[in-house]
Structure 1
């Protein structure tokens, strides 16, 4: 008996099977999507393939792990406190509500919780694009207290997506103003352009703004907003249908740069 055991894991919708030794250390891993078995040491190849045999779904390539790309090396050297990739949708709001839940009895719902619902709804929709060559980062802090709700990076380019809670309310968009229900109009589109411009400066790549209203009763546009797409949550998947802008290596490099907190401190 080799004493090897197979431990399946999931990350961003992709399955990876790790082969562990008796001491718990990784001996190899099998990536089903690429059909490759990566060996930490060639002397265990026969034992590894025997342990993986029930899990193999077709022909596989066997060899040492690929050489890390510059983007992967940057990720490996990034301090955990500076890594923004683990941020959950609405991370900043989750932290704020945890620190100050507010009064138990309120005449009106806490607007932070409505905003959180919007960011979580949009964030979950964008996270479902992972595994198709796209990455999403959430709640990216900007100097001055501003935030980019979601940054989508993939073959079709970069998008700064702003979630807006609009449940059962009419949304009227008249660039640069938006009017939600009976509220006073506000120049939200001007702010979204400014945030996208700051992101473009930080990443030295074009970032396009997207307004994502969640649950509106109706969306009315006086005219298409200049340079901004307005997409409801079910329509966000259309962003992933675009391609031909960035190569896979460029996507990974921009993702590695964007997940570093220090990238955003100079905008």
Structure 2
């Protein structure tokens, strides 16, 4: 078979090179990180390897695609409208600002844009954990108009993360109150715990609450906190060192359940 084309693509944060025939159908794909060429037809082995020749970066294993797991089958059956995986950090705020950008003559920045920047910064840091076997969902919708800013699932367990814009401000945490600069204290830790409790109910697994402060000035915590972790975005890489709670198959199964919008309809 001649005329094979190689088309690069990204899937779940990993590069794949798809080999397509003249009719546009995939006949193989190459996972560069795993060093494996997955063939859909053994008859095309030599043609596929010749097409991929300029892209191969070392020894490769050649064989049929792996048998899909239960989590992968669930994902394949998920309707695109119910799939939360494509959500961007701050997805709900992006939609709200697109629908109602607010007056153009504002003297002060729309607070929604400050919150959006915080969620995007936190989301980018959390997405960076994927190489360590972690999965992150952003802007998970809950009944009543609430949402979980970020849901993180990985070897160290499950975490419901609330991002808080705190640029250069002093943060005082006195459970359950959080004081941001000179503003009035707010019971934010109560909300963070409630989000985690709702996620635990939906996923039938323990979800731990996290308050993630984005670019804070000075952080003061007056006493040990019950259950809640208070972190900054620079602390996020430490998540990659947590482990011993979930196996990779468990991570994928919980991620498949969490990305389904219908999972969150009754919490």
Query: Equivalent residue of 2:3, what SS?
Result: coil
RMSD: 1.1
Q: Is the 8 A contact 2:173 2:179 kept in 1?
A: yes
Deviations 1:96-148 (A, max 9, x none): 11111111112332111111010000001111112321111000011111110
Tell me which residue corresponds to 1:44: 44
Distance 2:256 2:19 in 1: 27
Query: Equivalent residue of 2:34, what SS?
Result: coil
Distance 2:123 2:180 in 1: 21
Tell me which residue corresponds to 2:219: 219
Query: Equivalent residue of 1:199, what SS?
Result: helix
Give the alignment's TM-score, normalised by structure 2.
0.97
Q: Is the 8 A contact 1:12 1:131 kept in 2?
A: no
Query: Equivalent residue of 1:231, what SS?
Result: strand
Distance 1:81 1:151 in 2: 19
Distance 1:41 1:131 in 2: 30
Distance 2:19 2:107 in 1: 56
Instruction: After TM superposition, give the deviation of residue 177 of structure 1 in Å.
Output: 0.5
Tell me which residue corresponds to 2:120: 120
Q: Which runs of 5+ in 2 are unaligned?
A: none
Tell me which residue corresponds to 2:4: 4
Distance 1:14 1:224 in 2: 39
Tell me which residue corresponds to 1:148: 148
Q: Is the 8 A contact 1:174 1:223 kept in 2?
A: yes
Tell me which residue corresponds to 1:233: 233
Distance 1:139 1:48 in 2: 40
Give the alignment's TM-score, normalised by structure 1.
0.97
Q: Is the 8 A contact 2:129 2:239 kept in 1?
A: no
Tell me which residue corresponds to 1:53: 53
Deviations 1:18-53 (A, max 9, x none): 111112211100112222111111110111111112
Distance 2:139 2:224 in 1: 27
State how 1:1-267 maps to structure 2 within 5 Å: 2-267=2-267
Distance 1:118 1:33 in 2: 31
Distance 1:126 1:137 in 2: 9
Instruction: After TM superposition, give the deviation of residue 15 of structure 1 in Å.
Output: 1.4
- Report which stretch shifted further, 56-65 or 256-265: 56-65
Q: Is the 8 A contact 1:149 1:162 kept in 2?
A: yes
- Report which stretch shifted further, 55-64 or 141-150: 55-64
Instruction: After TM superposition, give the deviation of residue 206 of structure 1 in Å.
Output: 0.7
- Report which stretch shifted further, 46-55 or 9-18: 9-18
Q: Is the 8 A contact 1:14 1:131 kept in 2?
A: no
**May I ask how many residue pairs the two structures share in their alignment?**
267
